[in-house]
Structure 1
Amino acid sequence: MATTAATTTFSLFLLLTVSLHTAAGRPSPYLSKTSMFPNYQKMMATFKIFIYPPNAPINFTIPALSLFYNSLLSSHLATSNPEEAHLFFVPFAPQSTRSLDRVVAGIRAAHPYWDRSLGADHFYLSCDGVGASSSRNVVELKKNSVQISCFPSPADKFIPHKDVTLPPLSLARRLPPAPENKTVKFVGYYRRSGSLMGSELINGLKNDTKFLIESEPSDETIYIKRLKTSKFCLYVLDEEMEGFPEALAHGCVPVVITDRPIQDLPFMDVLRWQDIALFVGTRSGVEGLKRVLSHTCGERYEMMRSSGVAAAQHFVWNASPKPYDAFNMLMYQLWLRRHAIRYARWQIA
Structure 2
Amino acid sequence: MRRLLQRVAISLMKELIWCVAWRRIDWRKLFFAGAIMTVAGVLLPTFVLTYPMWFLSSPVVTSSHQPLNGSMHLSKTLTEARFEQFQLVPASPIVSLNSTQVTQPLPFKKERTRTRRYRRKKRKTKINDEPTVIPPPPRKTVSPRLQRHIASLPPHEALVYAKREIEHAPAVDDDPYLYAPVFRNISVFMRSYELMEMILKVYIYPDGERPIFHDPHLMGIYASEGWFMKLMEENKEFVTRDPEKAHLYYLPFSARQLELAVYVPNSHDLKPLSIFLKDYVNVISEKYPFWNRTRGSDHFLVACHDWCPYTTTAHQELRKNTIKAVCNADLSEKIFIPGKDVSLPETAIRNPGRPLRNIGRGNRVSQRPILAFFAGNMHGRVRPRLLKYWHNKDEDMKIYGLLPTRVSRNISYIQHMKLSKYCICPMGYEVNSPRIVEAIYYECVPVIIADNFVLPLSEFLDWSAFSVTVAEKDIPKLKEILLAIPLRRYLKMQINVKMVQKHFLWNLRPMRYDLFHMILHSIWFNRLNQIQIP
TM-score (norm 1): 0.81
3-state SS, counterpart of residue 207 of structure 1: coil
The 1:332/1:179 distance shift into structure 2, 3 A limit, reads farther
Count of aligned pairs: 324
CA-to-aligned-CA distance 1:279-322 (integer Å, 9 cap, x gap):
11243442x21221011122111122222221121111223322
The 1:155/1:134 distance shift into structure 2, 3 A limit, reads closer
The Cα shift of 1:22 comes to: 6.2
Match of 1:321 among 503, 510, 513: 510
Paired position in structure 1 for 2:71: none
Answering whether residue 434 of structure 2 is matched by residue 261 of structure 1, we say no
3-state SS, counterpart of residue 182 of structure 2: coil
Match of 1:208 among 394, 404, 410: 394
What are the equivalent positions in structure 2 for 1:1-349 lying under 5 Å apart? 10-12=135-137, 19-20=175-176, 28-57=181-210, 58=213, 59=215, 61=217, 62-76=222-236, 77-93=238-254, 94=258, 96-126=273-303, 127=305, 128-131=307-310, 138-151=315-328, 155-170=333-348, 172-173=355-356, 175-177=359-361, 180-193=364-377, 198-205=383-390, 206-217=392-403, 218=408, 222-238=412-428, 241-258=433-450, 260-263=451-454, 265-286=455-476, 288-339=477-528, 340=530
The Cα shift of 1:48 comes to: 0.7
The Cα shift of 1:55 comes to: 2.8
Paired residues of 1:54 and 1:92 also in contact (CA < 8 A): no
3-state SS, counterpart of residue 318 of structure 1: coil
Paired residues of 1:22 and 1:28 also in contact (CA < 8 A): no
Instruction: Give unmatched runs, 5+ long, in structure 1.
Output: 1-8, 343-349
Instruction: Give unmatched runs, 5+ long, in structure 2.
Output: 1-133, 141-173, 259-271, 350-354
3-state SS, counterpart of residue 261 of structure 1: coil
The Cα shift of 1:72 comes to: 0.8
The Cα shift of 1:324 comes to: 1.5
CA distance in structure 2 between the partners assigned to 1:328 and 1:221 by the alignment? 35
Which deviates more, 320-329 or 138-147?
A: 320-329
Paired residues of 2:422 and 2:445 also in contact (CA < 8 A): yes
The Cα shift of 1:173 comes to: 0.6
CA distance in structure 2 between the partners assigned to 1:185 and 1:14 by the alignment? 42
The Cα shift of 1:157 comes to: 3.5
CA distance in structure 2 between the partners assigned to 1:48 and 1:152 by the alignment? 26
User: Between Structure 1 and Structure 2, which shows a larger proportion of helix residues?
Assistant: 2
User: Between Structure 1 and Structure 2, which shows a larger proportion of strand residues?
Assistant: 1
The Cα shift of 1:178 comes to: 7.0
The 1:269/1:133 distance shift into structure 2, 3 A limit, reads closer
CA-to-aligned-CA distance 1:45-103 (integer Å, 9 cap, x gap):
32110011123222455432222111110112111011211101123343633333332
CA distance in structure 1 between the partners assigned to 2:360 and 2:138 by the alignment? 18
* Higher RCO (C-alpha 8 Å, min separation 6): 1
CA RMSD of aligned residues (A): 3.2
CA distance in structure 1 between the partners assigned to 2:136 and 2:399 by the alignment? 41
Aligned sequence identity (%): 24
TM-score (norm 2): 0.55
CA distance in structure 1 between the partners assigned to 2:515 and 2:499 by the alignment? 13
The 1:178/1:30 distance shift into structure 2, 3 A limit, reads farther
Amino acid at match of 1:296: I
3-state SS, counterpart of residue 79 of structure 1: coil
Paired residues of 1:248 and 1:305 also in contact (CA < 8 A): no
CA distance in structure 1 between the partners assigned to 2:521 and 2:313 by the alignment? 33
